[in-house]
A = this chain, B = another copy of it.
């Protein structure tokens, strides 16, 4: 393997090649639980497309696997090192190449942090919607790899809908350009979309053309308290059926509410079984919130509190933003799930998760992008307690099975990685799986790109 290091070194600046075991260890994994972590042979932090091409040529010549990485904030193990791999961290390729307000696009390198791009385009009156919770850390390349979502999706959709074109280094080092920088285009199969959510298994994204929108008005939020999750979910259905287009529609269950209260003394009503948070970024958000609030009341909300201004809105949304951190304090470890169901089945999903928590004797808090039907059950467990860890792992499977049973998907926005590999086969079925493997073989005949992930 010394050979491989030499081959890498021959074509890279010295500072781009890391072989120190301690430093390499810091690149070994993302934020997923229950996912195997291997030992890399080397970590490369390229700054140029040519660096990436050199790495891929070397990997193909030496038959060494490559694991592409963004900021490693992923939750499915997709960025975890495999034994003997080259970890290819794209974080240093972090230039915003271009922002074009006429074509409403940005051209970026993969290592650009989501929040950095968001702020840069905001300065020009533009908006890059995808906003995963990790938006201050995660990179656009990672967002593309996982198909990341966020709070905005109920109105603005997921990352996939904002990727117009890509430059990709293929496993053999060739550079492929896909897609376009025009508003429309249907020339050939949509390779761009194929790369989105492919978790580094088809190629290494080195540049992206992303679509932007005009910046909307600042959103105004409302919080509604419900005596049951069923009532909150009924409100969600009524809101969507009523033709509303909120810019945010989030749900927190009782476990999450209590965890947030315990951490931040936010004074959330402990007797409440579910909170809905909604916002509009429309020309008249107060009027839209009032109409939405009425639907909440009709569905059984015990209290509806609209914010009066942007500052109050941010305060209301803090409760949601703190949810994960608060749940993480309940025990020594968490496992975050990502099951998306049809909106009409959201109530059943929440009831089912509560039943699973009882059955496995675990604390499971649920935050949900309710407007999308996308739930994040957070299983809190003591990683030092083998029995509780086992139950946590089993509850995860039970939650997946429930999601599929309700007509949902095993991943709304986090990706498959290692964590849900077995469940992917279940969701796709044998024919779908066979075709997906066929596509993988077209791009990566030697199986060197992020091996063992997704499939």
Contacts and interface: CB of A to CB of B under 8 A. Distances in A.
A108 B283 CA distance: 34
B284 A184 contact: no
Contact of A245 (B214, B429, B432): B214
Interface string A117-150: 0000000010000000000000000000011010
Interface stretch (A44-52, A83-91, A194-202, A391-399): A194-202
Contact of A158 (B170, B184, B215): B184
A187 B424 contact: yes
Interface in A213-246: 213-215, 237, 240-241, 243-245
Contact of A424 (B176, B183, B188, B240): B188
A68 interface: no
Contacts of A103: 240, 342-344, 373
Contacts of A340: 180, 182-185
B102 A241 contact: yes
A415 B186 CA distance: 6
B198 A189 contact: yes
A429 B341 CA distance: 40
Given A176-B432, A432-B178, A102 B240 contact: yes
Given A177-B432, A416-B187, A432-B188, A182 B408 contact: yes
Interface in A260-315: 282-284
A433 to B, nearest CB: 8
Interface in A74-123: 100-104
A215 B243 contact: yes
A185 B146 CA distance: 11
B416 A372 contact: no
A431 interface: yes
A61 interface: no
Contacts of A187: 409-411, 416, 420, 424, 427-428
Given A176-B431, A240-B104, A438-B442, A190 B184 contact: no
A247 interface: no
- Copies per complex of this chain: 2
A28 interface: no
Given A189-B198, A197-B190, A432-B191, A182 B102 contact: no
A185 B415 CA distance: 9
Contacts of A422: none
A437 to B, nearest CB: 9
A374 interface: yes
A413 interface: yes
Contact of A372 (B183, B237, B411): B183
B283 A182 contact: no
- A147, A411, A432, A454: which has the most chain B beta carbons within 10 Å? A432
A412 interface: yes
Contacts of A443: 435, 438
Contacts of A104: 240
B413 A146 contact: no
B240 A186 contact: no
B372 A191 contact: no
Given A102-B240, A182-B342, 9 more contacts: A100-B344, A160-B193, A176-B435, A182-B340, A184-B412, A187-B409, A188-B424, A213-B245, A214-B245
14 contacts: A102-B343, A147-B186, A160-B193, A176-B432, A180-B408, A180-B409, A181-B407, A184-B372, A185-B340, A186-B409, A186-B415, A188-B454, A189-B194, A214-B245
- 4 pairs of A and B residues whose beta carbons are closest in the complex: A214-B243, A147-B186, A438-B442, A184-B412
